[in-house]
Amino acid sequence: MMSKTYYDPADLKKFGSISEWNEKLGSKFFEYYNSVFEEGALTAREKSLIALAVSHVVQCPYCIDAYTKDGLERGIEKEEMMEAVHVGAAIKGGATLVHGVQMMNKYNKLSM
Amino acid sequence: MPTKSLQARKNLLSDPQEQLKYLSNGIFGSGELPLFREKIAATGDLPLKPKKLEILQLNLGYMCNQVCSHCHVDAGPDRKEIMTRETMQLCLEVIRKSGAHTLDLTGGAPEMNPNFRWFVEEASKAGIQDFIVRSNLTIIVANKKYYDLPEFFKKHNVHVVSSLPFYKKEKTDRQRGNGVFDKSIQALKMLNAVGYGREGSGLKLDLVYNPAGAFLPANQQALERDFKKALTADFDIDFNELFCITNLPISRFLEYLIASENYEDYMTALVEAFNPAAVQNAMCTNTVSVSWDGWLYDCDFNQMLGLKVNSKVQHLKDFEPEFLQNREICISQHCYGCTAGAGSSCQGSVT
């Protein structure tokens, strides 16, 4: 039966099943995904915070659940999580506002 | 945050049978998640058998000065189960004939047993390589009769293993009670002052981290790095190793999981993180746990679930290493806690 809501928390656990309809691309994606989050020039902890901020910016409820839990497991504190969310919000707000320059340019070009 | 044990609150979950029933019904009963037995059968680990006995873990009693919300022992000030000197005498005989290289004293707060010091003095003569006392830290500052515990531990070359769920006050106090963090820091400073955890002292002080909530511990090394950085910078505290322990879904942690509606997700996370390599190194394969009244168990968790060793020998008074060696380890769904991710034991990760 189809759910009456667009998002169901239980669907997060089924994420891996996307490979069932396209094994090759699904496997490639998950392999890439796992490699991205390995320790590298950035620590796994830093990557987790970036993922949390991006999760908010793209407004993905599955990602927010996943990376809040991931952060807790890594000992990331709630103050750090909230600051990360504000970084995302600032960029998103800034991205809206910086378009104001385009608006100003257009306004000035069209005005006498 | 509970202020009394499940037992004192007459909570249904204080009965081990009720806990075992809960762990076998629901998502496991419906087949949504595999039973632990099925899971290890698939990797060829059934029946689960012990290897050489290396660690003898003695529970000196369930009395504790704290009532932690995650406690698998259901310990607290209201618990009266305390190991007697007679049972301790039996323990001393068993220590000598068991061949175990590690002796691990736990509780409750083992220091609250009135015969604790006598027992440590006697046991330290038994030639054990690694003599562990699991101290909750706050007991050291709970009453002036305990203030000299760091000196006492040092005198008997005891390896101190202490719980500190986090290096910040808020999370620690939410799990272990208001004021616990400050008292723990004070006790750690007292241990450091006599040399514990300081480089070159030879006095070992390890800390135990367990998650303050319904999530699994992350990488032990990464957390140890964070703990060391924070405790050194904030308090000039040194320690040796950090052990990450996964909370097992029994007793008060099970109560919390059910009440917070996290039980199903938590069990799913444990099952998904199942690691066959952790089964091979599970602590039940090299440990025997002894209760305050002398019964033998595969581990401290099975002790709390009332699952005595499946052997002809079930009590200290009849202890024979060979009989125990041939036993089959008792398992249920709580065992997923020790086999998730890097594995979990009283000595931390196992892989």
- Convert the pLDDT of each residue in B224-265 to its tens digit: 999 999 999 999 999 999 999 999 999 999 999 999 999 999
**Are the C-beta atoms of residues B238 and B232 closer than 8 Å to each other?**
yes
User: pLDDT: is B13 or A13 the higher one?
Assistant: B13
Sequence letter at residue B242: L
Alpha-carbon gap, residue A84 to A81, rounded angstroms: 5
pLDDT of residue A1: 56
**Are the C-beta atoms of residues B142 and B108 closer than 8 Å to each other?**
no
Q: Which residues of B touch A72 (CB under 8 A)?
A: 211, 213, 215
Q: Which residues of A touch B166 (CB under 8 A)?
A: 75
User: pLDDT by residue (tens digit) across B132-169?
Assistant: 999 999 999 999 999 999 999 999 999 999 999 899 89
User: pLDDT by residue (tens digit) across A44-96?
Assistant: 999 999 999 999 999 999 999 999 999 999 999 999 999 999 999 999 999 99
SS3 at position B57: strand
Q: What are the φ/ψ torsions at residue B37 (nearest 5 degrees)? A: -55, -45
Q: What is the DSSP string of B195-263?
A: TTTSTTS---EEEEE--SSSS----HHHHHHHHHHHHHHHH----S-EEE-PPPSSHHHHHHHHHTT-H
Q: Residue A97 domain-assigned?
A: yes
**Are the C-beta atoms of residues A63 and A51 closer than 8 Å to each other?**
yes
Chain-chain contact of B218 with A75 (C-beta, under 8 angstroms) = yes
Q: Which residues of B touch A44 (CB under 8 A)?
A: 219, 222
Q: Residue A98 domain-assigned?
A: yes
Q: Residue A71 domain-assigned?
A: yes
| Helix (H), strand (E) at residue A105 | helix A78-110
In percent, the amount of chain A with pLDDT more than 90 equals: 90
CATH number at residue A95: 1.20.1290.10
Give which of B346, B313, B344, B328 is closest to B98, Cα–Cα: B313
Mutate to test the interface with A, among B32, B167, B169, B219 (most CBs of A within 10 A): B219
Residue B42 vs residues B39, B98, B236: alpha-carbon distances, Å:
5, 33, 48
Chain-chain contact of B218 with A74 (C-beta, under 8 angstroms) = yes
Q: Residue A10 domain-assigned?
A: no
* Alpha helices by DSSP H, chain B: 16-24, 26-29, 36-42, 85-98, 116-123, 149-155, 169-176, 180-193, 220-235, 251-259, 263-272, 276-280, 300-304, 321-325
Q: Which residues of A touch B222 (CB under 8 A)?
A: 43-45, 74
Cis previous bond, B47, omega within 30: yes
Chain-chain contact of A75 with B226 (C-beta, under 8 angstroms) = yes
Chain-chain contact of A73 with B215 (C-beta, under 8 angstroms) = yes
- Torsion-angle region of residue B246: left (phi > 0), alpha (psi -120 to 50) or beta? beta
Mutate to test the interface with B, among A47, A67, A69, A81 (most CBs of B within 10 A): A69
**Are the C-beta atoms of residues B17 and B306 closer than 8 Å to each other?**
yes
Query: Parallel, antiparallel, or unpaired for β B296-297 and B287-290?
Result: antiparallel
Chain-chain contact of B223 with A75 (C-beta, under 8 angstroms) = yes
Which structural domain range is residue A22 located in?
A: 15-110
pLDDT of residue A3: 67
Alpha-carbon gap, residue B46 to B30, rounded angstroms: 22
Residues A98-107, mean pLDDT to the nearest whole number? 97
Give me the number of domains chain A comprises: 1
pLDDT of residue B184: 96
Write the ipTM. Answer: 0.78
In percent, the amount of chain B with pLDDT more than 90 equals: 90
The CATH number corresponding to B12-16+49-265+285-335 among 3.20.20.140, 3.20.20.70, 3.10.20.90, 3.40.1710.10 equals 3.20.20.70
Mutate to test the interface with A, among B164, B215, B242 (most CBs of A within 10 A): B215
Residue B299 has pLDDT above 80, yes or no: yes
Fill in the DSSP letter of residue B338: T
Residues of B at the A interface, defined by Cβ within 8 angstroms: 166, 168, 211, 213, 215-219, 222-223, 226, 268, 272
CA of B217, closest CA in chain A: separation in Å?
A: 5
Residues A10-28, mean pLDDT to the nearest whole number? 95
